Structure 1
């Protein structure tokens, strides 16, 4: 019967442990060294020399069995979610069984337990680590042995990451009556070890978000090369301090556009202008705007179009920017009917030397006056026509009329009239305005005319 209970206990313990999956947690291993005390008194009500349950639970002087040496050794392995397993071995000498004395019986025990960290229920305290455990074991006293079912409460007080103090009270329920139920109390030191820190940054790999790269505690083990509060793995500009809102990239002018994407990194602008300002809102950014405080078109480098002559026609549309004109004539002045008539009268008195294209002296003043009028109207175009009487042959008359028309054109251009606004053509004797049969008629036919054509 005793062997069946031992086998059953071992099977239950192995199955319980095998259902838990070990994980690589910080310092998963532990070793404990301490002393133990065995107390039979408060666990066996009704037996002679024993009290009721938990009676005189801490009466160490009357009921505790202890030896003055290290008498308990534990080895533990953290598993997952607050669970761990522990194997414990202890020795003692029993000279008190309740109020009864004993003849210094030897006591040995081997125990296995599954422990649960109560901080998972109460909340993490870091330094104070209470736990509960359940398991089983085997106890030998002199020539007797029995399996036990064990339940315990205890706590660890951690002085640092690896070193602490342990205190535990364990109830052991024996399966054989020759060894009665008892408490085993223990106290000692406990040491945790086995954690890995591959990058050597002082943060165990389990808690290290960047276990292969040396990092900082405040960033869970990840590096922040530029010290801007954005870890390198999330920093688009890891070597230049920047803003978290811009994924670690800088924004010198504070316009919300990273310097790398900002065409004007030192001047606060808007995204539509690639980070450049446009003070006058004309669509031309200030750095390209020759008039940044006054709105103007891009075609004029951000400046408004001028109207130099003040005629209401902007210079960009004004063909005569220095002369007052009309919008209908693209900013140029329009010749009046009075002045056209004046020109026609002046040209009626243009005289040439006989059979030549040279002017008579009295003609020069008239041509100068005509040139002054024409020059005032740079867009007005005129047709100059030369005519002769019928004296002589037609071919020579045609040639002479062309020379005289050209002579007039050349003189006018020499006085500032645009040659592009003048045409000259000779018609010979073909277009008389009077009879060639009289001297006065032939004089009228020898003429130069000017007509406004535009």
Structure 2
């Protein structure tokens, strides 16, 4: 066992390069440990104690040299496309050295055996589309020492991995080692077979985002994350992964899919129009102090309930007539409900108007209003303003003196003269109309002076 320290040093070097033997890109590393058997007989060699190639290949009892302990360690890396590189260190003890042509076993005195080998192998697992049966072929080379003699070898391997789990396999392998140097009979080492059996542990993996979680287990393989979230990130640290977090940059709760509820009103901040004021869900998280269904921020009267049509404010009745301003045609003047909030022109008012109108004086035969009628016209204007939505007709009448045609024209002219005076002094022109009736509607007899005076008049009548 003179080269034991050399073998152990080389094995540690190989193990230091990695910790596993490649199987595929998800488990690129794997390590195999086991036992090996060395057989110098069925190699077709030139020594007299070697038989034909594969002769008595399975004669383990007579020709196999087996060290009854862990005697081989293999370490490798998956390269890609089914190819792997494997480095193997092995140790053994040789006491069976083939047999002579007459069948006599050749024995030697416990020769030390050491080997360091490298192999490129190709797995047929994907070709065969099987998950557990994994045959492979390999080619490589190495260096073998038998006692004090060493030689380089060209190696060809056939092996099988039987995968018990994703990461654990039973490994069987047979390697033909051809010695390059041309040794004379009795020199060592000769060309030989080396068989091995062991356990393979596959692990490791590709970690694209470098977060310590292999891609095969990483639900977010291209974004660095946390192991507890299967490789996915949780930027705000609220225990909800960014992919499932509606607010990945702000810590929140699972109830709101990772979003906060700052005001605690049960509406998550992104959906809360008033995130710092507790409010109602139906108003997108905004408060409604007066309970009128309009959020305070949009309510013109947040402390008084009112309809949306009036911006959240209650409708007023400024004149106190029982008709709300919105429905009141005369919101500043008390009226009646029947007249849409406007005052109604009574018969008494109508009589007063005409009593005033009859006293309007004109220049004789003309439509010019005399100045002494200004006071009575002011009184008429005051009455009309009390009924802002009422419409009136200014009527002109004459006596029967003169021609009917002239009287008609004069009555028209005087009616319009009064109308114009009223509109020029504050009465809406659309509330007034003017008409002349000439001598057609007398109220007294035209045969007396008093009767004719009564018939020469102006009336202001309500349009109903």
Does TM, normalized by the shorter one, top 0.5?
Answer: yes
Of 417, 423, 446, which aligns to 1:436? 446
Of 304, 308, 311, which aligns to 2:314? 304
8 Å contact kept, 2:345–2:462: no
CA separation in 1, counterparts of 2:397 and 2:265? Answer: 78
Structure 1 SS opposite 2:294: coil
Structure 2 SS opposite 1:395: helix
Change (3 A) 1:310 1:398: same
CA separation in 1, counterparts of 2:385 and 2:221? Answer: 89
Q: How much is the aligned-residue C-alpha RMSD, in angstroms?
A: 3.8
Do residues 235 (structure 1) and 251 (structure 2) align? no
- Residue in 2 that maps onto 1:218: 228
CA separation in 2, counterparts of 1:338 and 1:406? Answer: 25
- Residue in 1 that maps onto 2:207: 198
Do residues 72 (structure 1) and 70 (structure 2) align? yes
- Residue in 2 that maps onto 1:388: 398
CA separation in 2, counterparts of 1:453 and 1:234? Answer: 75
Shift of 1:342: 1.8
Shift of 1:445: 1.8
Of 415, 425, 440, which aligns to 1:405? 415
CA separation in 2, counterparts of 1:203 and 1:362? Answer: 109
CA separation in 1, counterparts of 2:377 and 2:220? Answer: 97
Of 374, 387, 395, which aligns to 1:377? 387
Shift of 1:197: 4.1
Shift of 1:291: 1.0
Do residues 346 (structure 1) and 344 (structure 2) align? no
Shift of 1:89: 8.8
* 1:149-188 map, 5 Å: none
Structure 2 SS opposite 1:72: coil
Change (3 A) 1:234 1:362: closer
What CA deviation, in whole Å up to 9, does each residue of 1:60-108 have, x standing for no partner? xxxxxxxxx995336699xxxxxxxxxx999799xxxxxxxxxxx9799
Shift of 1:381: 2.3
CA separation in 2, counterparts of 1:31 and 1:316? Answer: 93
CA separation in 2, counterparts of 1:205 and 1:383? Answer: 96
Shift of 1:247: 2.6
CA separation in 1, counterparts of 2:443 and 2:215? Answer: 117
- Residue in 2 that maps onto 1:427: 437
CA separation in 2, counterparts of 1:389 and 1:299? Answer: 57
8 Å contact kept, 1:29–1:75: no
- Give the TM-score taking structure 2 as reference length: 0.55
CA separation in 2, counterparts of 1:76 and 1:209? Answer: 32
Structure 1 SS opposite 2:338: helix
Shift of 1:23: 9.4
CA separation in 2, counterparts of 1:23 and 1:191? Answer: 13
Of 332, 335, 338, which aligns to 2:342? 332
Shift of 1:425: 0.8
CA separation in 1, counterparts of 2:233 and 2:437? Answer: 98
- Give the TM-score taking structure 1 as reference length: 0.56
- Residue in 2 that maps onto 1:289: 299
CA separation in 2, counterparts of 1:271 and 1:348? Answer: 70
Shift of 1:386: 0.6
What CA deviation, in whole Å up to 9, does each residue of 1:399-439 have, x standing for no partner? 11111111222233344333322221111122222333333
Change (3 A) 1:206 1:427: closer
- Residue in 2 that maps onto 1:272: 282
- Residue in 2 that maps onto 1:51: none
- Residue in 2 that maps onto 1:40: none
CA separation in 2, counterparts of 1:292 and 1:360? Answer: 59
- Residue in 2 that maps onto 1:263: 273
Change (3 A) 1:222 1:363: closer
8 Å contact kept, 2:236–2:248: yes
CA separation in 2, counterparts of 1:234 and 1:107? Answer: 66
Change (3 A) 1:360 1:89: closer
Where structure 1 has 5 or more consecutive residues not aligned to the other structure, the ranges are 1-21, 35-68, 78-87, 94-104, 109-189
8 Å contact kept, 2:33–2:73: yes
8 Å contact kept, 1:398–1:426: yes
Shift of 1:385: 0.9
What CA deviation, in whole Å up to 9, does each residue of 1:195-246 have, x standing for no partner? 1142332234454443443221222222223333221232334344433333
CA separation in 1, counterparts of 2:217 and 2:372? Answer: 113
CA separation in 1, counterparts of 2:111 and 2:305? Answer: 101
CA separation in 1, counterparts of 2:344 and 2:274? Answer: 49
Do residues 447 (structure 1) and 457 (structure 2) align? yes
CA separation in 2, counterparts of 1:278 and 1:76? Answer: 76
